[in-house]
Amino acid sequence: MKMIFAQGNPEPDYTSSRHNVGFSILNTIADEFDAKWTNKSKFNALTSEIAINDEKIILVKPTTFYNETGISVRKLVDFYKLNTASDLLVIHDDLSLPFGTVRVRTQGGDAGNNGIKSINSHLNNTYTRIKIGISNDLYDQMDDSNFVLSKFNNNESDQLEKTIIPHVSELVKQFCDETIKLASFKNIEKK
């Protein structure tokens, strides 16, 4: 069994925000498999179950706020007795990467990301991550919190739908069948 855990904020006001790009990706994957979301309050999460190559995959959107997602992931990892190094994939936005950049890493520090800091403090830092770059020219004009909670512009939304979300969805499937290239770097062309 594997768990795909997306960083994000639970309230509707944040649905299309940069911080919630991980939720958007999991929603797309759940839709592809006709999977429904279930509120699992004991895990502080919405979960959905799918199967890839006959392996059970749990998709998770925490119901804690972004900076406290470690609470949810810890409960789930303990309950399902997951090996974080092989069974946990975290998808999150990355403010230090330009929009259109996707990186896959197997471990590391939080680089100032409070959600990752929360996960690292509740677990460890040995789990696979897919980082989605969200930075653009507006970032220089806003503070961090306002920028990550802002919405993607129309061009970015179009790129997300047509290029980035399908690419990351494919990486998720590669993680599930253990063919993902853990040190890969992909810079998606902006149109």
Q: Would residue 92 show up in a list of annotated catalytic residues for this protein? A: no
Q: Which two tokens stand for residue 47?
A: 């979960």
How many Å apart are CA 71 and CA 40, to the nearest integer?
13
Contact yes or no for 19/92 (Cβ under 8 A):
no
Instruction: Name residue 15's amino acid.
Output: T
Write the CA distances from 115 to 31, 77, 94, 122, 179, integer angstroms: 25, 16, 11, 11, 26
> What is the Cα–Cα distance from 41 to 65, expressed in whole angstroms?
14
* Residue 35 to residue 182: CA distance in whole angstroms: 27
Find the catalytic residue in 19, 92, 122, 167.
19
Active-site positions read: 19
